[in-house]
Amino acid sequence: MTTYFIRRILLMIPTFLGSTILIFVILQMAPGGPLERTIQQLQAGAMQQGESVGSVGDIMSGGSSVLPESALRELRRFYGFDKPVYQRYLIWLGVWPREIKHREVKFSGDVKEVSKNVGRGTYMTLRLEGEQVGVYDKAGITSDIWKGAIDKEASKDDNVVATIFQTEFSGILTGNLGTSYTYDQPVSEVMAPRFKVSMFFGLTGLFLSYIVCIPLGIRKALNHGSAFDFLSSVVVFAAYSIPGYALGMVLLVLLGGGSFWDIFPLGGFRSPTEIWETLSLWGKIKDQLWHMVLPIIAWSISSFAGLTILMKNSLLENISQDYIRTAFAKGLQEKRVIWVHAIRNSIIPIASGIGGVIGVVIAGSYLIEKVFNIDGFGKMGFQAILDRDYPITLGFLVIVVVIRLVSNILSDIALATVDPRIRFK
Amino acid sequence: MPEQQEISLSILKKRWLKFKTLKRGYYSFVLLVILYILSWFLPLLVNNRALVLSYEDEMYFPIISGYYAGSEFGQDVPGETIYRELQATWESENSENWVIMPIYPYSPFEDITVAGNKMYDPPSNTHWLGTDNTGRDVFARLCYAFNISISFALVLTILNYIIGVIIGGSMGYFGGRFDLFFQRIIEIWSSLPMLFVIIIISSIIRPSFFLLIFIYTIVNWIGMTYLMRAEFYREKSKDYVAAALSMGQTNFKVMFKHILPNAMVPIITFFPFAIVGGISALVSLDYLGFGMPPPTPSWGQMLDVGLQNITKAWMVFAPISALFSTLIMVVFIGEAVREAFDPKVYSRLR
């Protein structure tokens, strides 16, 4: 059993690599990536400003609508597009040295040695040694920190362009998800608050749907074929046939001050910060609940139908088993037979579903977040794709993938824990 | 002639008879099939071009032959004839000429550029469900979107099934390395958040109907593959397969002629739910703006516009009711099919 789970966890590694490679390649192949977008923006800016280019500084030297070569190179280096895809992937993973703090150096004509300021008044001596660039400090010893390389694409005949840079291993394996292009913040800092918002909704919704669905399913199973069963089936079918976000829209139009009643707010996680800060604790709780009601209903509806039917069918199946007949035959009370014998066995498929639900909690709710304009995790990922903010997109997808992989294992563990008959091999 | 014996009914026929007794599902099925067939004739029913028109003793069929300039029928409008107005003028003049319009004389693409159309017109006798933000008739768009949604889901599901049967069937039938390899691929595939992958791909290439189906199929084939793998895996160890093989049948024949008919139950019972998935997928993609290219009528796009104009309730309620009633009919069918195919009869307590 333990060996099985250890093997499963080890198998996560190739799956993780496979899916991240897939995501990475799809994103990198996409035209209109961040590099092209930035170039376009800069050019558009230059066109607007005509001759008077000031804001973008040296990148826009000359004021023409075409970016100078060196600026293009710098941009390409900034976004990492000067490397082949596999290197970019490995760098992003954190197992290939990442080059940082680039500085460009030109060797023109016969000059083989250049001194370069690397900040804080420190100078490094660069020496052209055939195909390589040596970097030496003041004492003439090869530098440990700085490395040099020739930029082959930029070099022409006599003019050799080289870069010096520092290297470090930093990628997702070292916990560095990069810096967002649009928010200009580390990705993890952008994600953390939004992740919390989504978790908050997800877990509350999960909790509520379990609280409603399990008793409802039990009741339906015990009264199979009754009027109650029929009526609640209608509700269940209706719930199954309406996507959560569509229900959210209906609720907004009806109760959110659209055309009918104005009871609940139109959206948002809670009141804006200015108002939120002035509220008392009780006020905060009320405000939070007030904002939560509609999204939570919309969120829970998606799992409501499935869970209820699962609970009902599972209990029905158990009730028709022989061991229940035996229990009745030996004269046990109906209550005891159902609540002690049958329910315990019927809860198994529900318990094992928990892991799977967690994955949905995180990623599946962005349509609802969009409808209710909640600044959550899913909406952030969606927006990042629109903005071509690759660090965030990649970070988002990686987290979703990891959560799914882990939750798959969690469901198996949950299943094995509740049902001692199940043994994985 | 001897009468056919009752016992010789095939299992499928028995199931069909059982299905017919489940009224809710059966009537939904009939209704949905009729509506879908009707929806292919929508240009004859919901359109702004006249079906038949008689002008100076000559017959015209604009619905087939297409564009006629207004000047051809003596109408003083730039561009195409506005047949509704033509009909009104000729009727008021009691002239010899006549026009037969479709039952609902508005097209899903006709916006405010056509005289007489207003933005955000609330539901009325002329526009049954009002007009949207560009003055297009909501009811007309709803009808055309129905056809597109169902067609999308049908084509998508059938494609997924073909891939699922071929790959999943081979996985279960051949097993070994092939099975292991595809299992890994499926695991990788299913760990990805697919709607996001579709959004990424759709943001790169502007999808058309078939491109969208293609993208979705790439992403969506896994579900059926899993089912088919299990089904083929179970069936292949049965005696009839060994018998067929020992008689020299090829693997291909064994798979598709012998095993497949025995693996039909999950294929059929899963079908309606796959349709539900297909329809909702298209709606959510359209809602996010990554589905059909505009101005294709689509429920998702209508939802998006509706939510932006939340005070105009008809614009939200119309597409949602259409979506909801379509989905609930399919769910009823699915439930009935499942019951017809499921020999298990739940016993009540004691």
Query: CA separation (Å) from A10 to A7, A23, A258, B290?
Result: 5, 21, 52, 37
**A positions 188-207 inside 8 Å of B (CB):** none
Q: Pick from A237, A396, A397: which is nearest to B328 by CB?
A: A237
pLDDT classification of A53: cutoffs 50, 70, 90: very low
Rounded CA separation A248/B104 (Å): 31
Q: Pick from A241, A249, A363: which is nearest to B303 by CB?
A: A249
| Confidence (pLDDT) at B148 | 93
Which CATH architecture is the domain B1-47+107-350 placed in? Orthogonal Bundle (1.10)
| Confidence (pLDDT) at B221 | 86
List residues of chain B with CB under 8 Å from any CB of chain A: 184-185, 187-193, 196-197, 199-201, 203-204, 276, 280, 283-284, 287-288, 303, 306-307, 310-313, 316-317, 320, 323-324, 327-328, 330-332, 335, 346-350
Q: Do A30 and B320 touch (CB under 8 A)?
A: no
What letter would DSSP give residue A330? T
CB-based contact B42:B103 (threshold 8 Å): no
| Confidence (pLDDT) at A156 | 66
Bigger pLDDT: B77 or A14?
A14
| Confidence (pLDDT) at B327 | 92
CB-based contact A370:A245 (threshold 8 Å): yes
* Alpha carbon of residue A340 to chain centroid: 42
Nearest chain B alpha carbon to A312: B346
User: How many other C-beta atoms can be found within 10 angstroms of the C-beta atom of residue A396?
Assistant: 30
Percentage of chain A lying above the pLDDT 70 cut:
79
Rounded CA separation B261/B253 (Å): 12
CATH 1.10.3720.10 domain extents, chain B: 1-47+107-350
Indicate the burial class of B339 (C-beta count within 10 angstroms; 0-12, 13-18, 19 or more).
middle
CB-based contact A267:A249 (threshold 8 Å): no
Residue at token pair 């973008």: A56
Q: Pick from A23, A238, A393: which is nearest to B192 by CB?
A: A23
3-class secondary-structure state, position A179? strand
CB contact set of A129 (below 8 Å; sequence gap of 6+)? none
Q: Pick from A15, A328, A367: which is nearest to B191 by CB?
A: A15
CB-based contact B181:B189 (threshold 8 Å): no
| Confidence (pLDDT) at B58 | 81
Q: Pick from A19, A242, A328: which is nearest to B350 by CB?
A: A328
Structure tokens at A256: 């959110």
Which is nearest to B54 in space by CA: B100, B102, B97?
B97
Q: Do A15 and B187 touch (CB under 8 A)?
A: yes
| Confidence (pLDDT) at B28 | 92
Rounded CA separation B205/A177 (Å): 27
CB contact set of A418 (below 8 Å; sequence gap of 6+)? A347, A348, A351, A352
User: A-chain residues within 8 Å CB-CB of B206?
Assistant: none
Q: What is the pLDDT of residues A312-356, one digit of tens each?
A: 888 888 888 888 889 989 988 888 888 888 888 888 888 776 766
Q: At what angle do helices B264-288 and A244-255 cross, to 10 degrees?
A: 40
Structure tokens at B321: 């009711």
A256 CB near a chain B CB, below 8 Å? Answer: yes
ipTM over 0.85: no
Rounded CA separation B249/B284 (Å): 46
Mutate which: A237, A249, A398, A400, vs B, most B CBs within 10 A? A249
Nearest chain B alpha carbon to A249: B307
Rounded CA separation B156/B167 (Å): 16
Q: How wide is the angle at C-alpha A353 spanned by C-alphas A219 and B180, nearest 5°?
A: 145
Question: Could you give all domains of chain A from N- to C-terminal order, each with its CATH number?
Answer: 187-418 (1.10.3720.10)
Q: What is the pLDDT of residues A212-226, one digit of tens each?
A: 999 999 999 888 888
**DSSP for A128-144, written as a single string:** EETTEEEEE-TTSPBPS
Indicate the burial class of B18 (C-beta count within 10 angstroms; 0-12, 13-18, 19 or more).
middle
Query: CA separation (Å) from B261 to A96, B255, B337?
Result: 53, 9, 17
List the single range of A11-20, A50-59, A95-104, B315-324 with lowest mean pLDDT: A50-59
pLDDT classification of A80: cutoffs 50, 70, 90: confident
Bigger pLDDT: A35 or B48?
B48
| Confidence (pLDDT) at B5 | 52
Which contiguous run of DSSP H or E holds residue A255?
A: helix A244-255
Rounded CA separation B198/B218 (Å): 9
Cis peptide before B295 (omega within 30 of 0): yes
Which contiguous run of DSSP H or E holds residue A331?
A: none
Q: Do A367 and B192 touch (CB under 8 A)?
A: no
A105 CB near a chain B CB, below 8 Å? Answer: no
Pairing outcome for strands B52-55 and B58-60: antiparallel
User: A-chain residues within 8 Å CB-CB of B330?
Assistant: 241
Structure tokens at A182: 């649009």
Q: Do A246 and B303 touch (CB under 8 A)?
A: yes
pLDDT (tens place) for every residue of chain B, 350 residues total: 455 555 667 878 888 888 888 888 899 999 999 999 999 998 888 888 888 888 887 888 888 877 888 777 877 777 777 888 888 888 888 877 888 888 888 888 887 777 677 787 778 877 888 888 888 888 999 999 999 999 999 999 999 999 999 999 999 899 888 888 888 888 888 888 777 788 888 877 777 888 888 888 888 888 888 888 888 888 888 899 999 999 999 989 998 888 988 888 888 888 998 999 899 889 988 988 888 888 888 999 998 888 888 778 888 888 999 999 999 999 889 888 888 887 665 544 44
Q: Is the pLDDT of residue A149 over 90?
A: no
Q: At what angle do helices A2-29 and A85-93 cross, to 10 degrees?
A: 130
| HEC string for chain B | CCCCCHHHCCHHHHHHHHHHHCHHHHHHHHHHHHHHHHHCCHHHHECCCCCEEEECCEEECHHHHCCCEHHHHCCCCCCECCHHHHHHHHHHHCCCCEEECCCECCCCCCCCCCCCCCCCCCCCCCCCCCECCCCCEHHHHHHHHHHHHHHHHHHHHHHHHHHHHHHHHHHHHHCHHHHHHHHHHHHHHHHCCHHHHHHHHHHHCCCCHHHHHHHHHHHHCHHHHHHHHHHHHHHHCCHHHHHHHHCCCCHHHHHHHHHHHHCHHHHHHHHHHHHHHHHHHHHHHHHHCCCCCCCCCCHHHHHHHHHHCCCCHHHHHHHHHHHHHHHHHHHHHHHHHHHHHCCCCCCCCC
User: B-chain residues within 8 Å CB-CB of A33?
Assistant: none
